[in-house]
Structure 1
Amino acid sequence: MIERRPGLTFLSHFILIVGVAIVAFPVYLTLVASTQTAQDIASTIPMSLLPGSNLWETYRVALFGGETAAGSTLPPALPMMWVSLVMALVIAVGKIAISLLSAFAIVYFRFPLRNLVFWMIFVTLMLPVEVRIGPTYEVVSNLGMLNSYAGLTIPLIASATATFLFRQFFLTVPDELVEAARVDGAGPMRFFWDVLLPMSRTSIAALFVIQFIYGWNQYLWPLLITTNEDMYPIVLGIKRLVSGESYTEWNVLMATAFLAMLPPALVVILMQKWFVKGLVDTEK
């Protein structure tokens, strides 16, 4: 029986409210700054915390590009958001597909050095991105995949973490299901498609959210392999708006940053139920 204490309840709610305020205030500040003009932001210290009247013009310039009131010509964020969306979807789906198949092969197929293969995959977690990025760039360059969606996504779709998680889950599947599928005449891929995939839905959903955000927020790898502005993701676009020049259009920069937050936030909100269930549910 759980004892309810009003003092502890108030304290826990107070801590949660403070935590939400700390996280939400920068987002609110970004939104407010995107509704003001660059002159208002630069001339008012501290910046006003009330929304301004320049909302539609700022977001029009941020989305479609064009010349601002200060005479700067800014690139559109919409094509960059499309590049980021393609990157995030391909990386998320690719990581899940490859990890499912690799974990399925490691658990249900008998072949020499099976455990060694798994641990070789797992050991790659110990190699930071900076160690692998030089050789990976050379391979991608030699294959002619610079400034392409293939170059942006293929080197990032392998995931030792997802392979490990799916392997651990497949090991908990009762052997009786395998025997029943074999008696019914189901082959390996039929068992994988009709039995394992439906049982793995919550884990797939949780990993999809994590990997989508991972792919959307990629900065270092696109910075290295893209020289064509048409292949810049939105994170690079934000960096381009702070170019070190004497004058920065902070309102457009904040609008672009706020737009960059929307797709990951939307994915988390829409898949929140599946995401939480995939992390905490023990009865798959």
Structure 2
Amino acid sequence: MNNTDPRKAIHEQNKLEKRLRNRVGKAIAEYNMIEESDVVMAAISGGKDSFAMLDILIALQKSAPIDFKIIAVNLDQKQPGFPEHILPAYFESLDIPYYIVDKDTYSIVKEKVPEGKTTCGLCSRLRRGTLYSFAESIGATKIALGHHMDDMVETMFLNMFHGAKLKSMPPKLRSDDKRNVVIRPLAFCREKDLIKYAEHKAYPIIPCNLCGSQENLQRQSIKAMLTEWDNQTPGRIENIFNSMKSVSLSQLADGELFDFKNLPIDRSEERKEYEFSEATVSSSNIDESLIIDVTHV
């Protein structure tokens, strides 16, 4: 017997929807993701995150102080058994412009990647190239992807642990050839909220059988680690993400970004008081008359 108060459930759903919209709106504003007259190509994979992103973007479009267009695009990678009818029917129900783009990346990945190896890297590159070129062909000025805060934190640890690099997915990215700008409107949203939201909305989710069937992927290992941390210390994922927004280059070790080699002492100004009082010397074998007063050199 379900004793859940329907009024309370509706209230919680409304709070969740408002929270997600506020966070998407904040991310868009903070990084200037969408501008007047933009054509936003929303890349929809059929997963919960991209469905939620499209839903929230459409809602924000109606109340935004600027005018912009949204075009939904799905890249059909020709995975066996992919239900080709689901997304066109869903887009038609929303009454929004859309494209289904066919590109058999599945066969390429299966041919190039040995059995049991991670396919995500090659699959991602092939997908990215197709989306970039298609965005140009339809005049899209922004490409919206459904990556959320958890994805971005996971990617940072993935690059640290397996690539020895401190980098992640930025909320806004210009492609290397400067021809496209990628935005991630869900950058401030937690995956656990998106899971609840997708359940409430009952999206026609299509699983990715290409990489989802592979066990012990590096990203899944990272996700498990972060989930444990989040359960033990709620708010830790948010803190890690916020640290990505508050970088102190002089406190890291990249000599290309900060000049560690040339750090001259400058004692020309009268110094401020340090937090703790001066130390008292109790014993020494140094003749203080030999100490040079650098302030007068």
Using structure 1 for the length normalisation, give the TM-score.
0.23
* Structure possessing the higher radius of gyration over alpha carbons: 2
| TM-score normalised over the length of structure 2 | 0.22
Identify the structure with bigger relative contact order (alpha carbons < 8 Å, sequence gap 6+): 1
- Select the structure that is richer in helix: 1
